[in-house]
Structure 1
Amino acid sequence: MTLLANIPKQGDFASTAALNSDLAFKGKYAYAGNYNGFVIYDISKPSKPTIVSQVLCPGSQNDISISGNLLFLSTDSSRSDNSCQSVAKPVTDPTAWEGIKIFDISDPANPQYVKAVETDCGSHTHTLVPGKGVDRNSVYVYVSSYLLGDTSVGADCKYPFDQITIIKVPTKNPTGAAVVAEPVLFPDGGNPGGGSTTYPTTGCHDLTVYPDKDLMAGACMGDGALFDVSNPAKPKLIDVVRDTVNFAFWHSASFNNKANKIVFTDELGGGGAATCNPTIGPNRGANAIYDIVGHGKKAELKFRSYYKISRANADTENCVAHNGSLIPVKGKDIMVQAWYQGGISVWDFTNSRKPYEIGFFERGPLSDTQMITGGSWSAYYYNGYIYSNDIQKGLDVLQIRDKRTDPARWIKLKELNVQTQPNYFD
């Protein structure tokens, strides 16, 4: 794996507190979230990316996705209002605002703020579900949010909370975006949690849909779940799994291309701790690979193995399983994945029981004396290259050359939101 280019954080996004977050892609552009807003990069020459525009719009995490000329931004911090000039406000104040912001990016050099939709508990992450049939000119936004201790309890965000918010957006009239459903995903209340190891399910952290298969994988704090989303406004739970021994916080999920496997990640320590060391071991803060056995309503998730990077990181390096995507190689299940300061790992899980690493890239600790939150937040494969939004270092562009991954270079997409998983081959 070779680092081809790096663009450091700049201007309003340069400070250590301005954390880089998620990525999305459209054509020759990469869209990068940051706790202070978002950046648009021209990646037409991947070895020489350039900044097209920066939009200052504070509101963590500012996770990001794209649909046509619309950009969606998650706000998961209590703000004074829904503008990009808002300031922090106590979550207990009933007038505080959190939710989804929508921008028009038809001119990437000059994005325009279009609409905001307030949601209960804000929007930690979100997932786009394209409409079908009579809804083909709409996109549904699944808003993931959750309660994490009493500090997140507000006027419209209280226990119990195990729902998602669904926003319907008419793509030709985005000002008409509105909440259309707030389904409870776990009618039994979800995992109640236990001791100091497993979080209770009080919402979902991340949802990944596979529209071609009408499926959704949910990483929901104390639960990993499989859903039917054939009706986008009414997701239905198919199966749920728990791991009270090794998994603390179900963080994100990825299907393989055949949709007969799911990789779940465990964000042990919340992304701010050193968990890639011998003390924690190989099964905690790791990935868990599950096979999907059976079909339709009778499908079940069956655990097969864990995967974690084998390199021991320093005690000053935050390191745990985080966001990744498939590298599209027909007949193989290969992922690239961010591990914060553990770097970027490319690994193969074609054999669910025997995953192994193909290659990796890492910089080493930001500091030898203190913990500074940093490293790769999201590492995604797009049109022949790996793009990583490094929390402190900025945008990285990498290339992997290996006979096992080289066939992926011929796969080209017009748009990529990793949480709306494309079907590469069927």
Structure 2
Amino acid sequence: MRATRFGSTSRYVTAAVIGATTISLSLWGTASAAAQNGPDLGQENFVTSPNVRQVANVAATAPLLGGGARSSDLAFTGDYAIGGNYNGFTIYDIKHPKKPTIVSQVLCPGSQGDVSVHGDLLFYSVDARRSDDSCNSVSQNDGSKPYWEGVRIFDISDKANPKYIKAVETDCGSHTHTMVPDKAGTDVYLYVSSYAPSASLPKCQPPHDKISVIKVPLANPSAAAVNSTPVLFPDGGNAGTPGSFPNHYVRQTSGCHDITAFPEKDLAAGACMGDGVLFDISDRAAPRVIEKIQDNVNFAFWHSATFNNDGTKVVFTDELGGGGAATCKPEIGQTRGANGVYDITGTDLGFKSYFKIPRHDSEICVAHNGSLIPVAGKDIMVQSWYKGGVSIWDFTDSANPREIGHFDPLPSRIGPSGTWSAYYYNGYIYSNDGQQGLDVLQINDPLTDEAKSVHQKVFNAQTQYSLRHGNN
């Protein structure tokens, strides 16, 4: 391992050798960048409900700004938040949530950069064909030439100097992944979701009705490898309905977009393009489909899933328009592009209601990533809606969900995407904006105040635990 500093800037280039391959990482921001605070937060750029306020923002910085960079998912461990990006990831120190700082940034391109964390390991999804698995790779969209996509594994024991330790290739890449610990505590499994096969891609052939399961031995993560590729849709899944936004259409199922696991319940819920799926994951290496549902009237693209705290409900989201459309216009209505709330009875998923933010928006406004606010006896979720902002909503009554708070960026807040992911962690809401960096929000409301006493040691949105679990 060697590190070289260039000039007086805070840029380091670190080379790590993996077998015979040299992989270079560019680390920026070791001179911590403090968040903006107080009157300079730019309140003219957003509006909030009376019970929500922005307490900090850490602006996006090079190299994870511009040039194809776009912030994506978030994961948390201890006093740190890890922000994924199409070009790498950022580690933030959030010990003081109102004054977060950047500890390090890793430049290692490969969209879309979904992240999860387990102990000192960070997993990073790459759903883009690259010339090789290194951080120096370049885009390789010609399927006739060698390419790589899949999952990268980093050691983040030293938050200021992450190290790249392993790459695992998966068919069709890794759009998202779900980290699921085994029951013995010796391994973790990554359920890799990917889709969009093509006959022109030798490693992403149709029909691709499967996921990839990676086994990571915790004592030797460099031995991580694909363990199995279970076929979820032997019948082909939803055949889809041709069309495009804003006309009605349903995406054909050819893999999954996202899976959320509830390990202590031995359950997982999958959002698989044209299908919603419930899995039995009692055998971590072999997830088994126990229920499939479709909504060909209102759902266009099953995007993600979130259980309630008791594992008795699932919220599925619909990414109508593919994450780049204005779906919150009055003419679209309140049922298309909405969340679907389902009760779980045995192995059955029973539809109860739709929920969509009550505000109209002519910009990109699409249901996206969110999580529970941990309140015993209540089902309350915080959720990103791109430029529709952050919504806090209550679905305790499955048939009658309602919004209880919001943070809404105005058109004057520049950037193409808006908030990608919004999660509650130890008293605060953290929102990863595609271009505007990390927003820290706080909700003060009798319905959610109890959550401030819940302390979590680690948080991965796609790996849920109940309030009674030792994670809290």
TM-score (norm 2): 0.86
What is aligned with 1:383? 426
Q: Secondary structure at the match of 1:142?
A: strand
What is aligned with 2:407? 361
Structure 1: distance between partners of 2:433 and 2:172: 27
Q: 216, 225, 250: which one pairs with 1:198?
A: 250
Can you list the C-alpha shifts for 1:26-50, whole angstroms capped at 9, x where unaligned? Answer: 0000000011100000000000000
Letter in 2 for 1:138: D
What is aligned with 1:328? 374
Superposition map of 1:74-223 within 5 A:
74-133=125-184, 136-147=185-196, 150=198, 153-196=200-243, 197-223=249-275
Structure 2: distance between partners of 1:87 and 1:412: 41
The alpha carbon displacement at 1:17 in A equals 3.2
Q: Secondary structure at the match of 1:11?
A: coil
What is aligned with 1:352? 398
Matched residue pairs, number? 413
The alpha carbon displacement at 1:93 in A equals 2.9
Structure 2: distance between partners of 1:37 and 1:50: 17
Can you list the C-alpha shifts for 1:152-201, whole angstroms capped at 9, x where unaligned? Answer: 95111011111000010011211110111000011211111123211110
Structure 1: distance between partners of 2:221 and 2:400: 46
The alpha carbon displacement at 1:242 in A equals 0.3
Q: 76, 79, 82: which one pairs with 1:25?
A: 76
Structure 2: distance between partners of 1:293 and 1:132: 25
Superposition map of 1:248-397 within 5 A:
248-294=300-346, 299-314=347-362, 317-366=363-412, 373-397=416-440
Structure 1: distance between partners of 2:131 and 2:170: 14
Structure 2: distance between partners of 1:412 and 1:275: 35
Q: 1:407 aligned to 2:450?
A: yes
Task: Mark the runs of 5 or more structure 2 residues left unpaired by the alignment.
Answer: 1-51, 244-248
What is aligned with 2:465? 422
Structure 2: distance between partners of 1:287 and 1:357: 12
The alpha carbon displacement at 1:425 in A equals 3.0
Structure 2: distance between partners of 1:357 and 1:90: 42
- RMSD of equivalent CA atoms: 1.3
Q: Secondary structure at the match of 2:63?
A: helix
What is aligned with 1:244? 296
Aligned 8 A contact 1:330 1:425 in 2: no
C-alpha change, 1:16 and 1:384, in structure 2 (3 Å) is farther
The alpha carbon displacement at 1:424 in A equals 1.2
Can you list the C-alpha shifts for 1:263-298, whole angstroms capped at 9, x where unaligned? Answer: 00000011101111101110111100001112xxxx
Q: 1:230 aligned to 2:276?
A: no
The alpha carbon displacement at 1:94 in A equals 4.9
Aligned 8 A contact 1:91 1:155 in 2: no
Q: Secondary structure at the match of 1:313?
A: coil
The alpha carbon displacement at 1:373 in A equals 2.4
Q: 61, 66, 71: which one pairs with 2:117?
A: 66
Structure 2: distance between partners of 1:401 and 1:211: 31
Moved segments of 4+, more than 3 Å: none
The alpha carbon displacement at 1:367 in A equals 7.3
Q: 1:11 aligned to 2:62?
A: yes
Structure 2: distance between partners of 1:79 and 1:165: 19
The alpha carbon displacement at 1:16 in A equals 7.0
Structure 2: distance between partners of 1:187 and 1:24: 33
Aligned 8 A contact 2:68 2:87 in 1: no
C-alpha change, 1:210 and 1:96, in structure 2 (3 Å) is same
Give the % identical residues. 60
What is aligned with 2:93? 42
Task: Mark the runs of 5 or more structure 1 residues left unpaired by the alignment.
Answer: none
Structure 2: distance between partners of 1:23 and 1:375: 15
Letter in 1 for 2:101: T
Aligned 8 A contact 1:274 1:319 in 2: yes
Structure 2: distance between partners of 1:208 and 1:257: 13
Structure 2: distance between partners of 1:324 and 1:288: 14
Q: Which has the larger radius of gyration?
A: 2
Aligned 8 A contact 2:150 2:167 in 1: yes
Q: Secondary structure at the match of 2:424?
A: strand
